[in-house]
Amino acid sequence: MLKDKKIVIIGGTSGIGLSAAKAFVNHGARVVAFGLEPEKDPEISNCTYLIGDARDEHQVKAALQKCISEYGGLDGLYHVAGGSGRKWGDGPLHELTKDAWVKTLELNLDSVMVSNKLIIRYWLEHKQAGSILNLSTLLATDPSPKHFHTHAYAAAKSAIIGFSKSVASYYAQFDIRINVLSPGLVDTPMAQRAAENEDILKFIRTKQPLDGGRMLKAADLDGAAVYFLSDYSASTTGQVLGVDGGWSISEGQY
């Protein structure tokens, strides 16, 4: 499905992004996986790893240039990078600090703006079509207040949806597509707090009831990501797809 596609994954060195890198290569793509974590899989061929910060425009631009120089082009972008702002003080609004708000939005929203802007500039300059997939979360549209109450994070991920739809509307005339993947709770390094909390796991068994009621695996998102970065989605833009194990249609029991 991705034969000869050249794709950059921002946040591609661990978790959801690393799983996608494997899937993209298995479908014929050549990939630059860019991220903070040194984790990588040496068994993946046609995948180049770069360590860097998604908030740094110069480093993100270098990742895009690496894909061009290494593989001869640039067809798609999967922006996965982001994360919890708990370490800075993200939480309920009455406890939220300005510093936590700014840093959480910078990590989750500013980074998306940077990567999307840079790749769209490249496509416009080269009169080329392309596909962007940005990562949001079901918490942006279907909140769960008892266990998940980081309001700056929810605001940033909600803004990614509005941003992506607005950008998709403007650039559709250039055959540039922007879509959003919105997962439920995924078992990644960021989700270790949830994965180690029996109360949350019990809740997830009814909130994400598919397949016995479990946290998603990173690989559960790969099929949707492959679709959006492939030509099979050539007529799809400005859309949000929830891959959530049933989160959005399940009440969840405490």
Tens of pLDDT, residues 102-148: 999 999 999 999 999 999 999 999 999 999 999 999 999 999 999 99
pLDDT for the residue numbered 44:
76
Q: Strand locations in the chain, DSSP E?
A: 6-10, 30-35, 47-51, 76-79, 130-135, 176-183, 240-243
CATH number of 6-186+220-244: 3.40.50.720
- The pair of structure tokens assigned to 234 is 């050539």
Tens of pLDDT, residues 165-188: 999 999 999 999 999 999 999 998
Per-domain residue ranges of the chain? 6-186+220-244
Written as one letter, the residue type at 3 is K
Closest to 82 (Cα-Cα) out of 56, 52, 105, 51: 105
Give DSSP secondary structure letters for 68-101. Answer: HHHHS---EEEE------GGGT--SGGG--HHHH
Output the pTM of the full model. 0.96
The alpha-carbon radius of gyration of the chain (Å, integer) is: 17
